[in-house]
Each structure stands twice: as structure tokens, then as C-alpha cells.
């Protein structure tokens, strides 16, 4: 199955940049800010309701057979990334301001994405069904693990408390579960009108960005996000992405995943979800979310650029056995012989 490589410079990316610019020039404040926050809360609830209504329970359960791949992606997302995030405060030569450093750590707690992971995996010739399930499981786990890890690792930077957990449950988890319950009746309708609902998804994210950055501008975000600070942040994020790609490729090798499963594991395990992370940030950080989500927004762009380059390279690197005209017998549970290893392809065991 082939999926076109997503364009990293597309109208949605331009819309994100334009929304940040709009918030910088015309930030919502006072009564307008309160109205924007209320509408934002409703939009986020609608977003997670649609996530739940679209998620096929049958496909999710079918994908469980790729246990090693999913375990690797979950471990990379919720164990390795948090460790990398903690390490950035100690090992990077470019120190970041308190809020930017907290934003980098929050980025490391966010679940993997589904849409771009699947598109890149398909373009690279990877295992698309496994990528769909891996991204889905990561998103589901993130509803619980991201807030808990944030409470543990970010501490006083979050507004998480008993009330905060209740708000997460009501605003994120409850709409998602309601969507799952209603899926038998509305799932088909949503699937048929998927294109028409795209503005709802993206509009909700843009509203979250505008509300968060408006609050940040009112609080003086540009005193902290100087050009030098932004350059340092990009350097840290590139190092973080490189470490994630290398670690997931090594993990796929050690677990004995075949070429297509290795591609899915590397691309899913190194990606972070803007669609899930932004709404969670508004719940966790409240009025402080603007600067906190800046690392996530930049990382999202970097992962698309680098992922697109890698997908193109892997798609042009046929397996040695296939190139020699010899069939390669696929084995159960994502295993394959060493002949699948080739230049530019995530390694498989020899």
C-alpha cells in the first residue's frame, strides 16, 4: 500500500504560522479571552469526540498481533522520550529558558501521531496497518500517561490536581468514549464525509493555537522567545529527533522486526502529535500554554521535513533479495531474514 508523502510546507502549516501571527498582532484579552477559552474548550471536546467516533475498534484489536512493534513505539514514546527530555536540561550546550525547557520536556511526553506517521510509512514502503495501530495505541495511552507523566516530571509547572484530572476526564476522555459508543450509528456517516470534516479538525487546532498564543503575548512571550533562544531551541529539537530516530532503528534491529515493520516503528516512534498535544497543553498549563507548546509546534514541522526525506530514501532502496530476483519469505509476527537489510533502511538482525 502506497500513501503519498505529505507536503511539509502545505496550507495547514501556513495557517498555523498565520494564526501565531494573528495572535501576536491581535491577541484576545479580557472578556474576549474568556470567550475564546470557552469556545476553545468546546472545540477540543468536539475534536476528541470525532477521534473516538472514527476509531475502528475491530481494526485496533486486529493490529495487536504486531506486539513487538507496538511495544517498541510505546516504550520510545513514553519511556525513552521522557529520558531524552530530562537529558536536554543537563547535556545540551545551549541552555534554554525555564518555560522553553519545560516545553521541550512536555513535547517528550506527548503521544505519537497517526496521520503523518501513516502517510510517511506508506510512502517509504513500510507496514501501513501496523503504523495505523501503533499511532492509535499511542494516542489512547497518551490520554492517561501524558497527564500522569506531566504531573510527575513537570510538577509545579502544571495546573494538574484532582480538579485538573477531572477536567481532563470530562474534556478529553469522556468525549472520546462517547464517540466510541456512538460509532456504530455515526461512524459510517463520518467516514463518508471525512473531507468535509477536515476543517473542523484543523479549525479546532488553530483555535487552540490562537487562544494559547494570545495569552502568551499578553504575558510577554517575546521577551523569552528571542531569535537566539529560538535558534538554540531548534538545535535542541534536531538533536532530540536524531536521537529518537537512531534509538528506534536500533530497537527494531534488536527486536528482529522485518524491513516494513522497522520503517513503521522508526517513523511512529519518533513522531509527536500536534493534534493531541495542543489540547492537552491547554488543560495542563492553562494560561501558560503559549510558550510551552512552541517546542511541540517546531518539532512537528521538523519531523515532517526529516521524515519526508527518509521516506523518499527508503522507498528508493529495494531489499537486496528482491533486487537479485529472489523471493523473500515473510515470517510471522513481523520477522524476516537478514536479506531485507539495505542501504538507508532501518536495520534488521543478521
62-79 tens-digit pLDDT: 666 788 999 999 999 999
Long-range contacts of 158-165 (CB under 8 A, 24+ apart): 158/284, 158/285, 159/283, 159/284, 159/285, 159/286, 160/284, 164/283, 164/284
pLDDT score, position 320 = 47
**HSE, side-chain direction, 13 A CA sphere, residue 36:** 23
Evaluate whether 282 touches 263 at the Cβ level (below 8 Å).
no
pLDDT score, position 240 = 94
Mean pLDDT of 330-343: 36
Q: Say which residue, 145 or 327, is predicted with more confidence.
A: 145
Domains and CATH numbers, the chain: 11-310 (1.20.1530.20)
Q: Say which residue, 285 or 143, is predicted with more confidence.
A: 143
Amino acid at each position: 500500500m502506497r500513501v503519498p508523502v505529505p507536503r511539509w510546507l502545505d496550507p495547514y502549516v501556513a495557517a498555523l504560522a498565520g494564526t501565531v501571527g494573528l495572535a501576536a498582532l491581535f491577541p484576545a484579552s479580557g472578556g474576549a479571552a474568556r470567550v475564546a477559552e470557552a469556545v476553545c474548550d468546546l472545540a477540543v471536546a468536539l475534536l476528541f469526540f470525532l477521534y473516538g467516533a472514527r476509531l475502528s475498534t475491530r481494526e485496533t484489536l486486529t493490529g495487536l498481533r504486531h506486539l513487538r512493534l507496538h511495544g517498541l513505539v510505546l516504550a520510545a514514546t513514553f519511556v525513552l522520550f521522557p529520558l531524552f527530555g530530562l537529558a536536554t536540561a543537563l547535556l545540551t550546550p545551549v541552555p534554554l529558558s525555564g518555560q522553553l525547557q519545560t516545553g521541550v520536556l512536555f513535547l517528550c511526553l506527548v503521544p505519537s501521531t497517526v496521520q503523518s506517521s501513516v502517510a510517511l510509512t506508506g510512502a517509504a514502503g513500510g507496514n501501513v496497518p501496523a503504523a495505523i495501530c501503533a499511532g492509535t495505541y499511542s494516542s489512547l495511552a497518551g490520554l492517561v500517561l501524558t497527564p500522569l507523566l506531566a504531573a510527575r516530571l513537570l510538577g509545579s509547572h502544571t495546573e494538574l490536581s484532582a480538579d485538573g484530572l477531572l477536567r481532563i476526564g470530562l474534556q478529553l476522555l469522556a468525549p472520546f468514549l462517547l464517540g466510541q459508543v456512538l460509532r456504530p450509528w455515526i461512524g459510517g456517516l463520518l467516514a463518508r464525509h471525512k473531507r468535509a470534516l477536515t476543517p473542523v479538525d484543523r479549525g479546532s487546532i488553530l483555535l487552540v493555537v490562537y487562544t494559547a498564543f494570545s495569552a502568551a503575548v499578553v504575558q510577554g512571550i517575546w521577551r523569552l522567545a528571542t531569535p537566539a533562544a529560538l535558534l538554540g531551541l531548534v538545535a535542541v529539537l534536531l538533536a532530540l529527533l536524531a536521537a529518537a530516530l537512531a534509538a528506534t532503528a536500533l530497537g527494531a534491529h534488536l527486536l528482529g522486526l522485518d524491513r516494513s515493520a522497522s520503517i513503521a516503528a522508526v517513523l511512529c516512534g519518533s513522531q509527536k502529535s500536534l493534534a493531541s498535544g495542543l489540547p492537552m497543553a491547554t488543560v495542563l498549563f492553562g494560561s501558560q500554554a503559549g510558550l510551552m507548546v512552541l517546542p511541540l509546534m517546531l518539532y512537528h514541522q521538523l519531523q515532517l521535513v526529516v521524515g519526508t526525506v527518509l521516506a523518499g530514501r527508503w522507498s528508493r532502496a529495494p531489499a537486496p533479495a528482491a533486487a537479485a530476483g529472489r523471493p523473500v519469505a515473510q515470517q510471522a509476527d513481523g520477522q524476516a531474514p537478514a536479506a531485507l537489510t539495505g542501504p538507508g533502511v532501518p536495520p534488521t538482525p543478521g
